[in-house]
Structure 1
């Protein structure tokens, strides 16, 4: 009975989110709540929700302060010299331009926002592509690939995986650092090859720039952006950022605490006036609040599904359909298909609806649920998000580059899928999960 109720709950959740009948926030709270009441758990449901919220609190806190921290140092201008230096260095050589695109997108994606990455990278690089007649699909692909393989502990998929399984983000991410390095090598290798291909197509194989003209590139800041910049504190902000990230990844101090401390220091150093501090927090509060509410809603969902026993019952029922000899291959197989799953499931549906069930099935065979989370983030809404019709970022990419969705998907999906498969093999080879 519990297994059937759990299955219906998951199906209703997926359907309501994917058909836009309910927002993820409403669906994650309302659907399991109704299911628990139907199952006869009554007021005990409140206890399940509280237990779920307790487990999610550190993740939500980390995300809120990570958004504010990166927003503050970006407002202060930490990224500006880096962006301008990249634009100046690429000149008019297609190979440099394409590799510069990858590097710029990688750096901008440090804050974990795909939308911000595309909003800065594509307008900055597009004039260079158009000036030489380069293929805009290459720009869309390379920016997407750099953002996709850069799954950091504070990015949406990692946070969702952590929330769904109640495990620390660093436990999920740290074993995948080498895997991510392989993904980045694939990204820059792809950028180099595509750049060389563009040089040959344009007849620029002699090693010279397309013209002898001087190239002056750089972003034009608005008046509001200029007021928030603190160029004299560039190196201070760089050192602060490296200190926060290094300490967090070492595990010495929990991630949420490090971002809290980093946020406070960044505010005091860059904006000593109280009014300025309030303004900077307000500027990034909306983005932080939107994701935090989803995470707390997810805490309610997982708390109910675990507390009622629906998740365990579903996993035990599903385990009967999986041959025991094949069970150890579940993470590897999931990693292979993780990227295409981005075309079928939005991140909330997958990480809060599908992945927990798969993780519990794997656990019933003696596997570690965290391996399912690690396999998932090698493709599901990481390399997959820039081509998924279920994410706004995809339409941002095609809108900014002026290409059609079909063109972008046909050109980019083979490379994005290749990166996902390569990282999955790497993860298996180094023992993150078995083949």
Structure 2
């Protein structure tokens, strides 16, 4: 059992990690309420799967532009300040959703405008959050930190959608948005407790040249390239969240819609609660490809299932696969990327795990409208498995990645150890 219990070493060694854990738990719970209420409100106003899927198209461009720029900002500015300001902006957008929901006849277009704004601010914020983790957590604790962060996310992903379904059904959309506004207010206060995180010495101002430098580095590293490509393929081809309401209708199980949205998080949570063993694994590339293949296969099985409980089980298995793949990606990123490029590469990471779901929403909505809801599930899942197999063959270095022998991982570890030694010497001299 001791090998299964989550490794709490990052929690014990870093005050900032503990603060971000609580801040993120609150943000994820309240944000998920809005994330569920928003597509439900669009469905209520339009009754169109294509209109719901269009959210992905609206969010895509801001995410791409501001994700890349946010990565450059994270390398050039204080990351704590960037996180705090973007969190406050997200709270303002939640307030706009609340105001619109309180109108006698809520408007449709503000929902898309806010979705685009949320995407832009998330793109600015995520690189700062992700790159901060590599600074506040010791090198050897990266997998444990990724598991704890994912655990925090999954708790919000389970409780948030479940609460959203109850709140929307009993009190309306405005109540769900009000909870989101309150959550962001508390989150901003917690962000003020973080230690300053200034840029590295000699950091350059954000520029297209700097962004291109980060992209060239990523392109030159087949292992990094593989993590991006596998995740993009899995999310684009097998991310059907936007059509869950229509599958629930077909199965005559509207009551289970909240469970469908949270089932994947349950699977991820179960893996996270038994993730102690992942801290002792060195072949993190295997996590990436095996987890993505499980995700695609389980989504396909959900589309072929006629029983709602079997669908929920498949979605839970898919969530566990996604969690495993995410642990591998986060560990490889944090163990191999140099500090001076961390923000810009985090911007690319945001695109790899965010653009895929946005495009996947468009794919799922369009395919469901053309060929039916079930084929959008099982067809996308099978395509995902095939794409992962093809990428594994094209990028074999991803599968053979070993944190003890990879040159970039060894170089990053040496840099962290040298920095820690300098801090100890400075403290002794003082």
TM superposition score normalised by structure 2: 0.30
Higher helix share: 2
TM superposition score normalised by structure 1: 0.30
Query: Which of structures 1 and 2 has the bigger CA Rg?
Result: 1
